[in-house]
A and B are shown apart, each in its own frame.
Chain A
């Protein structure tokens, strides 16, 4: 690179600063998103591991029946410690009670209690006491930090509960703990309290504990808990065998969550992977965009390349010159994106760690390779995509370069196509020229249309996915036809329930259902689950419904069939349950403990249900047969004559009063709107994410269109001069340029149609499975298509406005002398 070439480069940059700025903006914008997601992923993964491991979580928990009294715990613990791979063992308990002072009309809030003996050394499943001290007094509890915020409570305030025996209990919040192994309270819609066994009698329970929690190593003598779940399960089952020495003590469940993995790790990991992929996609798109723009810049420079070669510059020197240009562009974009990327990444990491994982950040450090990757990709990717046009331009012969008039060699061979266009009657000449001009630089046209089409396809697919997500509540409305749900404190006689509400004004139909919380396991096996200490995983709500229900449409069946009247022990499972029971299929038998009865069911179907699911479902007849209950129900679903929230609340309250008058205690009244609101709230993150996707991609696409039109005008300056010289008015030149922009935009819309459909399906499947365990319903949103068409056509108009205006301002002399 000679000094004069460097001077030329810098002065060229000054003359094309607008397009250079757009290239820097496109690359920079995408790089900020990509690097932020990469940094966030790196920070979250490292902090999640550190935070979760800091609690020394149990490798395995054995759920015992009956619970072990305090004076016998040491015996159980000693048996566990006798297993060579067991590092440490202690006894704990987890159970839930309902907070008694819930406002009417909202879902009852559960408070999960984590119980330990007062003298527990707190080596396993430990937590940080941030305020107050452990153990709390018998009438007090320590509240998990995120639960305090969720329940809007403060230290010193009292919590009113319905005790295990149904009686009212009041506990005082005496302190705050932080337990990074628990998901934030709002995500599980429950509070977390930490109490000692001294508090249990106050809650109407015996001072006993029913969980043997252990840390387990790979080999005897090792002090680091195993990373191998299979090895942990083997040792835990050995402990189960050892406990057989204690007559009357049964192991109900062996809970072995994935080692060293936070309960929300799969979601956070997949979410971040999706975000990084999206960032990478937008980076690739902007690199293609900058290659397109660079190709345009080179087109403008081609005659100058010819001159440089004519006065002795080799291809290598030309290559160096323009390599430096693209390096400068990508380097500046990378430098500008560096700090915003870090800041956004840190903000995103904080959001995920505190919002989704309940983990405090101790360090924002990321490995050096992530910085290296960002710099490497930021600088290297645009260079990589620009290399082909660059090499091609630098290898042009002097004659090719000096003779360049902006037409592909193939372009002049399309005589018949051009001639056919000319024969179209009524086609305005400016339109005709604009259409022909489109095909002058076919490679660039392809790149520009491809870029816009890609942006359009992603934009439309993202909005389609959003429409699909927003359709989920509507689908719930379609499938669930009740307006109000009344949950009873205790099961009651189904005919009595129906009779009690039949006379309530506004009630059109009512049905008596039953819903019970249970666990799922394969028949005849020790129940080895992946359940975490919060017992959020592996627990299942079973619904027993009347087969002739008019208030619920069976969801789409993926395998097998729906329930039938001639079934004996049939159960239909949602496909989301396959996370808990991998490989479960039609024909398999499962056991569900319901109250004190262990019931056995045969899977007859797998259905496609998203969040807020009704299934697993059984028929009321089969349920009564299996449990020995007869004509009882704990859930009343009512269809009302009006469907607004106010009417639903009013009719629900009247129904509750009618039941109370009949001596039936109602625990909660939920209008259907609450269910929809909850679902919409949960899907909010997903919608926001998808919108972010669409916005960034849309911006990159429009920058591309603007740059392409600007390049096209600059490249044909001389041609516009000729047109003016032969009498073309300025408006004709303006229209010519504007038509070209609009044609390009229209072509891209056509090209985007099929990819948009495929991407919608892919995105819906990916995001749906990630967040809801089932694909987002396929919705083609006409408004999404319309919005993109408007954006792209308006964008094309605006993008061509300035270059077209510039073209009209050129004098004939300027245009003809243009180099």
Chain B
């Protein structure tokens, strides 16, 4: 994992607004959002549908750009980066986990995990497969490494997606409804995995609207109509231990 000063804000949003042009007119998804997330926090972003949760996550991942304001993640203000630089930056600094896993169907599980390493070129080529297998071991699906994604269960696919998100050891893990497409057993397993990763000091921002998922977070950020209505459950920078949260 990248070395960042402990408890320093790894995510900062300053006066961020996001407005979309839609056929019905202009839609404000986020409006004047300010947010700081310290290194090592596990933040659950919650709220009703259309409240701006996913938009917030997309801005953090550099998938979308703010209409107004500044987004700084892992020390980089993303507004100045081109699309290509943004992709490179994302590969090195952010791990993404999606609700529908989004594994590439024609690559095996281990190849899916190794792919971000090829893009970032941080890890020597000879060590990439080994590291990918280590990550699969970590998420508990080492034995599925050489299968294609469609041969895995939903829970296994999501674990593979988490392993892929960890490929380049990014300081921040962003997850959009990671358990939304899983049954209760797999849901618990994935959340425990996130808790373990957070216990190792990894910063996690997870969009969810599932109550049991919130229990794993150190802080809850509630979105209401594009604004943050934050009621922290714990002090930032004091994530506690997974056992305490469970």
Please report the C-alpha to C-alpha distance between residue A12 and residue B61 in the assembled complex, in whole angstroms.
27
Binding site of B, secondary structure by majority: helix, strand, loop or mixed?
Answer: helix
- Any chain B CB within 8 A of the CB of A667? no
Residues of B within 8 A of A316 (CB): 84
Please report the C-alpha to C-alpha distance between residue A12 and residue B84 in the assembled complex, in whole angstroms.
24
Given contacts A3-B118, A397-B63, A397-B83, contact A312 B106 (CB under 8 A): no
Q: What 1/0 mask marks residues of chain B from 167 to 180 whose CB sits below 8 Å from any chain A CB?
A: 11000000000000
Is A8 within 8 A of B88, CB to CB?
no
Cross-chain pairs A/B with CB under 8 angstroms, 23 sampled: A2-B118, A2-B119, A5-B118, A7-B107, A8-B104, A11-B106, A307-B102, A308-B115, A309-B83, A310-B90, A310-B98, A310-B102, A311-B115, A312-B90, A312-B168, A314-B119, A395-B83, A397-B64, A398-B61, A402-B63, A413-B23, A817-B100, A819-B103
Please report the C-alpha to C-alpha distance between residue A7 and residue B105 in the assembled complex, in whole angstroms.
12
Residues of A within 8 A of B91 (CB): 311-313
Which residue from B58, B92, B107, B116 sits with its C-beta under 8 Å from A11?
B107
Q: Which residue of B lies closest to A315 (CB)?
A: B84
Please report the C-alpha to C-alpha distance between residue A308 and residue B118 in the assembled complex, in whole angstroms.
11
Is A412 within 8 A of B23, CB to CB?
yes
Residues of A within 8 A of B215 (CB): none
Please report the C-alpha to C-alpha distance between residue A4 and residue B23 in the assembled complex, in whole angstroms.
40
Residues of B within 8 A of A306 (CB): 102
Please report the C-alpha to C-alpha distance between residue A751 and residue B157 in the assembled complex, in whole angstroms.
48
Is A8 within 8 A of B107, CB to CB?
yes
Please report the C-alpha to C-alpha distance between residue A415 and residue B23 in the assembled complex, in whole angstroms.
9
B26 to chain A, nearest CB (A): 15
- Any chain B CB within 8 A of the CB of A440? no
Please report the C-alpha to C-alpha distance between residue A597 and residue B167 in the assembled complex, in whole angstroms.
102
Is A313 within 8 A of B107, CB to CB?
no
Residues of A within 8 A of B103 (CB): 307, 819
Please report the C-alpha to C-alpha distance between residue A26 and residue B203 in the assembled complex, in whole angstroms.
53
Query: Which residues A468-500 have CB closer than 8 A to chain B?
Result: none
Binding site of A, secondary structure by majority: helix, strand, loop or mixed?
Answer: helix
- Any chain A CB within 8 A of the CB of B12? no
Please report the C-alpha to C-alpha distance between residue A413 and residue B91 in the assembled complex, in whole angstroms.
35
- Any chain A CB within 8 A of the CB of B135? no
Query: Which residues B37-86 have CB closer than 8 A to chain A?
Result: 58, 61-64, 83-85
Please report the C-alpha to C-alpha distance between residue A307 and residue B92 in the assembled complex, in whole angstroms.
15
Is A317 within 8 A of B83, CB to CB?
no
Which residue from A4, A303, A399 sits with its C-beta under 8 Å from B58?
A399
The residues of B with any CB-CB pair to A shorter than 8 Å are 23, 58, 61-64, 83-85, 87-88, 90-92, 96, 98, 100, 102-107, 111, 114-116, 118-120, 150, 164, 167-168
Which residue from A14, A304, A314, A817 sits with its C-beta under 8 Å from B88?
A314
B165 to chain A, nearest CB (A): 8
B3 to chain A, nearest CB (A): 20
Please report the C-alpha to C-alpha distance between residue A314 and residue B107 in the assembled complex, in whole angstroms.
19
Query: Which residues A285-330 have CB closer than 8 A to chain B?
Result: 303-304, 306-317
B57 to chain A, nearest CB (A): 11
Is A819 within 8 A of B118, CB to CB?
no
Residues of B within 8 A of A11 (CB): 106-107
- Any chain B CB within 8 A of the CB of A15? yes
Is B88 within 8 A of A312, CB to CB?
yes
Residues of A within 8 A of B61 (CB): 310, 398
Residues of A within 8 A of B168 (CB): 312
Please report the C-alpha to C-alpha distance between residue A14 and residue B104 in the assembled complex, in whole angstroms.
15
Q: A8-B111, A311-B91, A398-B62 are in contact. List 13 more A-B contacts (CB 8 A).
A: A2-B119, A4-B115, A8-B107, A303-B102, A309-B87, A309-B90, A311-B96, A312-B88, A312-B91, A397-B63, A397-B64, A398-B61, A817-B150
Is A4 within 8 A of B92, CB to CB?
no
A343 to chain B, nearest CB (A): 37
Residues of A within 8 A of B100 (CB): 817, 819
Given contacts A4-B107, A317-B119, contact A399 B88 (CB under 8 A): no
Please report the C-alpha to C-alpha distance between residue A7 and residue B61 in the assembled complex, in whole angstroms.
27
Residues of B within 8 A of A7 (CB): 107, 111
Q: What 1/0 mask marks residues of chain A from 553 to 579 whose CB sits below 8 Å from any chain B CB?
A: 000000000000000000000000000
Residues of A within 8 A of B83 (CB): 309, 314-315, 395, 397
Is A315 within 8 A of B87, CB to CB?
yes
Is B111 within 8 A of A4, CB to CB?
yes
The residues of A with any CB-CB pair to B shorter than 8 Å are 2-5, 7-8, 11-12, 14-15, 303-304, 306-317, 395, 397-399, 402, 412-413, 415, 817, 819
B41 to chain A, nearest CB (A): 22
Please report the C-alpha to C-alpha distance between residue A398 and residue B120 in the assembled complex, in whole angstroms.
17
Q: Which residue of B lies closest to A319 (CB)?
A: B84
A15 to chain B, nearest CB (A): 6
Is B84 within 8 A of A399, CB to CB?
no
Residues of B within 8 A of A415 (CB): 23
Q: Which residue of A lies closest to B55 (CB)?
A: A399
Of B85, B96, B106, the most chain A CB neighbours within 10 A belong to: B106
A324 to chain B, nearest CB (A): 15
Please report the C-alpha to C-alpha distance between residue A316 and residue B118 in the assembled complex, in whole angstroms.
14
B205 to chain A, nearest CB (A): 15
Q: Which residue of A lies closest to B170 (CB)?
A: A312
A77 to chain B, nearest CB (A): 82
Please report the C-alpha to C-alpha distance between residue A314 and residue B61 in the assembled complex, in whole angstroms.
15
Residues of A within 8 A of B64 (CB): 397, 399
A33 to chain B, nearest CB (A): 35
Please report the C-alpha to C-alpha distance between residue A313 and residue B112 in the assembled complex, in whole angstroms.
13
Residues of B within 8 A of A314 (CB): 83-85, 87-88, 119
B71 to chain A, nearest CB (A): 14
Residues of B within 8 A of A399 (CB): 58, 63-64
Residues of B within 8 A of A2 (CB): 115, 118-119
Please report the C-alpha to C-alpha distance between residue A307 and residue B165 in the assembled complex, in whole angstroms.
11
Is B92 within 8 A of A819, CB to CB?
no
Please report the C-alpha to C-alpha distance between residue A98 and residue B83 in the assembled complex, in whole angstroms.
84
Residues of B within 8 A of A309 (CB): 83, 87, 90
A393 to chain B, nearest CB (A): 13
Is A8 within 8 A of B118, CB to CB?
no
Please report the C-alpha to C-alpha distance between residue A11 and residue B115 in the assembled complex, in whole angstroms.
15
Of B84, B87, B90, B91, the most chain A CB neighbours within 10 A belong to: B87
Please report the C-alpha to C-alpha distance between residue A314 and residue B116 in the assembled complex, in whole angstroms.
11
Residues of A within 8 A of B105 (CB): 304, 819
Which residue from A3, A303, A311, A817 sits with its C-beta under 8 Å from B164?
A311
Please report the C-alpha to C-alpha distance between residue A335 and residue B103 in the assembled complex, in whole angstroms.
35
Q: Which residue of A lies closest to B63 (CB)?
A: A398
B240 to chain A, nearest CB (A): 30
Of B61, B62, B63, B91, the most chain A CB neighbours within 10 A belong to: B63
Is B87 within 8 A of A307, CB to CB?
no
Residues of B within 8 A of A413 (CB): 23
Q: Which residue of A lies closest to B165 (CB)?
A: A311
Please report the C-alpha to C-alpha distance between residue A395 and residue B84 in the assembled complex, in whole angstroms.
9
A307 to chain B, nearest CB (A): 5
Residues of A within 8 A of B167 (CB): 311
Please report the C-alpha to C-alpha distance between residue A478 and residue B106 in the assembled complex, in whole angstroms.
68
Please report the C-alpha to C-alpha distance between residue A306 and residue B62 in the assembled complex, in whole angstroms.
12
B133 to chain A, nearest CB (A): 15
Please report the C-alpha to C-alpha distance between residue A245 and residue B100 in the assembled complex, in whole angstroms.
104
Is B107 within 8 A of A311, CB to CB?
no
Closest 6 CB pairs of A and B: A312-B91, A11-B106, A2-B118, A312-B119, A314-B84, A311-B116
Q: Which residue of B lies closest to A313 (CB)?
A: B119
B154 to chain A, nearest CB (A): 9
B89 to chain A, nearest CB (A): 8
